Chains A and B, each alone.
Chain A
Amino acid sequence: MHVHRFEKLWFGAALLLIVAFIATIVYGAAGPGVAMVSDDGGTIDADKVANGNFNQTDNFRSPGVYRENGQVHVYIVARQFLFNPGTSQAIEVPANEQVTFHVTSADVMHGFNLAGTNVNSMVIPGQVATFSVTFDETGSHGIVCHEYCGSGHHTMAGKLTVVSQSQFELAPDADAVEASGGS
């Protein structure tokens, strides 16, 4: 098969480019440790989420911010057309500490994105999206629902505030819920 020598060169260059791209992505995962949203959040019955029966599930709690085994966990339910928590009151998390988010949907597909950052996940009914983020700086981020979820989709947004470790405190009833042992 006759192939011009320039084409052979280009074939090699193209392969090099492809390998370099894959190598960059592997570096991003291994070096800075960027992880993918995966299947470790498990599945959940969307009906139970819709009706607030969180005590019947073992991988999700009543929406809110908790400290479990010393780590901060945020449980968020997305529904037409709000984030709970997030929309009515901002989610407050500490800086310089790993925060784990658990997000699921009570009805249709939604999206969860901290605007302009790499914190980005689909929210799919029946699935719990679990991912961890460490915020280096205090400040606030907008939460955008980025998947079409109905005619009021464009009104669905929220806010997350990152505060310093010293200012961070759990809501008074969060401990109570934890003590009563929902999970």
Chain B
Amino acid sequence: MGRTDHTATRRQLLRAGGAATTAAALGAAAGPAAAQSDTDFGGWFDDVGNYDGVVDKTGKEEVTVEVGVENGQGPYGFGPPAIRVSPGTTVVWEWNGKGGSHNVIHTEGNFESELVSEAGHTFSHTFESSGTYKYFCRPHKALGMKGAVVVSESGGGSSGGSGSVSEPDYGGWFDDVGNYEETVDERGSDEVTVEVGVENGQGPYGFGPAAVRVSPGTTVVWEWTGKGGSHNVIHDGGSAFESELVSEAGHTFSHTFESTGVYKYFCRPHKALGMKGAIVVGNVGGGGDSGGDTGGGETGGEGDAEASGGVLPVPNDFTGWFALFFGGIAGLAAMAVLGTEAYAEYRDIAAARAAAAGGTPTEAPAESYQRELDEGYDPLGTAALVAGYFVLIGLLWAFMYFVEFLAGPSITG
């Protein structure tokens, strides 16, 4: 399984420093998509909260992807994020107007939309060659706004599911959960305790352990550690269980799980900080309930090979132009400055030679003025300037107070 390296925290990005900066700044001039299976997008979907496998849309002429769906961090997702289509299919991205401005940018530059925020805006691209096309929204890439289109002749591959119990497919649920390592097997116990408020890398905002596998009929007891303020336990996508919002250490909440399945849950106040967990009841495995998405191997990307070779590095997004613009200005400025400096240095040396001959300082320290003005002078210009300033701030004050301030709803008691 192409599972995230959960020991890597987001903070390590900072330490990656220059490398990360450069990679982000250049968009993604990466090499051609290597032979990939649809279960391995090379970590592309590791931080995409709404990724839940590849949705099969093969055989259709036109497929619509929504731009701006909820992905756990806000309306920063593509819905669905990953689709499989047949060659010749036109994919239409449709903006839903949420989450500000979005765009759709192919990592290798085959297609790129404008940056738009209006609801109803559409952008389309027809995919002819087989391969895996990863794309993202530039402003919200860091928030997990990423997607992919897999173009292939056939439908889903053979099922990879086996009888053995493997890690369930949590669909990205644990991507931002720092203390998730793997599902702890507690099958056979009658009662299992999960701590509420353990360290998860962002503070005491974790469930310990984050994921537990139990047998049907087991009672799970959540026990509060008292750290990290108030927490609760809320079933995600259902209403099987929901605790109160409590902060005291020692408080407990329990639920008995009878039916087989994957129960995801979270703490409402700290969900954004990765306070999420799951209870797996029974022998639910990775291949069990989502065969088409997890199995199968597939090659792709040969159509993109030419995109990476011998092309001038023309920017393909705002950041690229931003960098190019400033790089250009900085380069011109540096040349101008060096020229000025060389000339100034030349004049200094010439002046110093002349001065050495004459034995005087290179520059006269005192200015010589055209005339001397004493106390009696009237600063007429100053009077004009301060009078202008007086009028300006008077007008601005009146505008701010009477137009901007008094027009809106105000506290009146």
Contact = CB atoms under 8 A, between A and B. Distances in A.
Is there a contact between chains A and B in the complex with CB atoms less than 8 Å apart?
yes
Interface of A: 2, 4, 6, 9-10, 13, 17, 20-21, 24, 28, 32-37, 50-52, 79-82, 84, 88, 98, 100, 106-107, 114, 116-121, 131-136, 150-152, 155
Interface of B: 202-203, 229-230, 244-248, 268-270, 272-273, 375, 378-379, 382-383, 386, 390, 393-394, 397, 401, 405-406, 408-413
Contacts of A10: 383, 386
A80 B229 contact: yes
Contacts of A37: 411
Contact of B406 (A32, A80, A88, A116): A32
Given A6-B378, A132-B411, A150-B203, 5 more contacts: A21-B397, A35-B413, A52-B245, A80-B269, A133-B409
A82 B411 contact: no
Contacts of B269: 79-82
In this complex, the member of B273, B375, B379 whose beta carbon has the largest number of chain A beta carbons within 10 angstroms is: B273
Given A10-B386, A28-B401, A79-B230, A132 B270 contact: no
Given A10-B386, A155-B272, A136 B409 contact: yes
Contacts of B230: 50, 79-80, 106-107
Nearest to A150: B203
Nearest to A157: B74
Contacts of B273: 81, 151-152
Given A6-B383, A151-B273, A50 B409 contact: no
Given A50-B247, A80-B229, A133 B412 contact: yes
Contacts of A33: 412-413
Contacts of B409: 114, 117-119, 133-136
A13 B387 CA distance: 9
Contacts of B406: 28, 32, 34
Contact of A6 (B229, B248, B379, B405): B379
Contact of A79 (B229, B401, B412): B229
B270 A119 contact: no
A32 B413 CA distance: 11
Nearest to B205: A152
Contacts of A2: 375
Contacts of A135: 409
A28 B412 contact: no
A119 B394 contact: no
Contacts of B401: 24, 28
B392 to A, nearest CB: 11
B229 A134 contact: no
B189 to A, nearest CB: 31
Nearest to A141: B409
A100 B413 contact: yes
Given A6-B382, A17-B393, A118 B272 contact: no
B247 A119 contact: no
A152 B269 CA distance: 9
Given A6-B382, A51-B247, A131 B229 contact: no
A50 B270 contact: no
B411 A34 contact: yes
Contacts of B270: 80-81, 152
Contacts of B379: 4, 6
Given A50-B229, A79-B229, A152-B272, A32 B246 contact: no
Nearest to B390: A13
3 pairs of A and B residues whose beta carbons are closest in the complex:
A132-B413, A155-B272, A118-B410
A119 B397 CA distance: 20
B290 to A, nearest CB: 30
Given A33-B412, A119-B409, A132-B411, A24 B397 contact: yes
A106 B244 CA distance: 15
